[in-house]
Amino acid sequence: MTLSVCVCDYWQRRHYYYQPVQPKLPPVDDTDTCNNNNNQACKEQPLVLRRLQVHLDAITGNYLLQELLQQQVLRDHLQHEHGVELVWLTLQPPAQDTIDYKFADMLAHTIWEHIEVENLMSWLSTLGGGFSALGEQFERCADTAGKISLQQLKIGLRLGDPFLQARCKLYYSISLIQRGQLRQAKNMIRAQYKFAREHKEHDQRLIRMCLGIWLRLRFEYQMRNERRGG
């Protein structure tokens, strides 16, 4: 028999832990007054689940729940020493809310990190745009613009923002076009366009970026064909 814990929250919803297994009935002794010829007089008695009901505020109740879930000794003591099969924990609002300072510090650090990263992304976008414009004339500048886009992509991966990652890849594809790596740029633009179409309700700009860079790619292919034909 496994000790079960039921948590009843503010909205009377029940959350069960360690679901009980119904015990088997004890064997019937043939010498008992209840035998096969007297089935009607002897009926099975319903099993009674011995319940320990506890009313606590949500903060204290959470500590008790963690102890019940993690401490096998405590569960065995309640079950074997006191015959408890179900702990019914009813949560009540605490008289005074407490502040989780550790979580608040973690949240403040995360927010500060995001602000700094956004500031860094703005600087990188400005710097990358300048090198990208110069990349039309100088291949070295186009290469630098590509490296900046890769740095932005690393930041996007750190933030876990798929749309930012897609935009960084499109920026990098511009650098590939400027350096003459058209096939690689084509595959990258197609992949981002597929992603943009699947998530067009979230970011319409991504589709327009893909279409604009695709036109630039087509122009480069046309210029390459004309040079080869000439």
Q: What pLDDT is attached to residue 31? A: 43
Annotated domain spans of the chain? 4-23+41-92, 101-229
Question: Mean of the pLDDT values across residues 7-27?
Answer: 67
Encoding tokens for residue 52? 């320990």
The predicted pLDDT at position 187 comes to 92
pLDDT at 45 over 70: no
End-to-end CA distance of the chain: 88
Q: What CATH number belongs to 101-229?
A: 1.25.40
18 touches 1 (CB < 8 A)? no
| Closest alpha carbon to 155 in 192, 124, 191 | 124
What mean pLDDT comes out for the span 122-128?
80
Mean pLDDT on 123-152: 83
pLDDT per residue as tens digits for the range 172-197:
888 888 888 889 989 999 999 898 88
pTM: 0.52
Q: Give the model's confidence band at 49: pLDDT under 50 very low, under 70 low, under 90 confident, else very high.
A: low
Distance between CA atoms of residues 46 and 121, nearest Å: 68
Residue 171's contacts (CB-CB under 8 Å, 6 or more residues apart) are 128, 132, 145, 149, 152
Q: pLDDT tens digit string along 74-89?
A: 888 888 888 888 889 8
Return mean pLDDT, the chain.
79
Provide the token pair at 186: 């084509």
Report the pLDDT averaged over residues 48-69: 85
Cross-strand pairs, 113: none
Whether the per-residue pLDDT at 94 is higher than 70: the answer is: yes
Q: What average pLDDT does the segment 149-154 reach?
A: 84
Question: What does the pLDDT average to over 37-54?
Answer: 59
Lowest mean pLDDT among 59-63, 134-138, 188-192, 216-220: 134-138
- For the stretch 198-215, pLDDT in tens is 887 777 788 888 989 899
What is the CB-side half-sphere exposure of residue 169 using CA atoms within 13 A?
Answer: 22
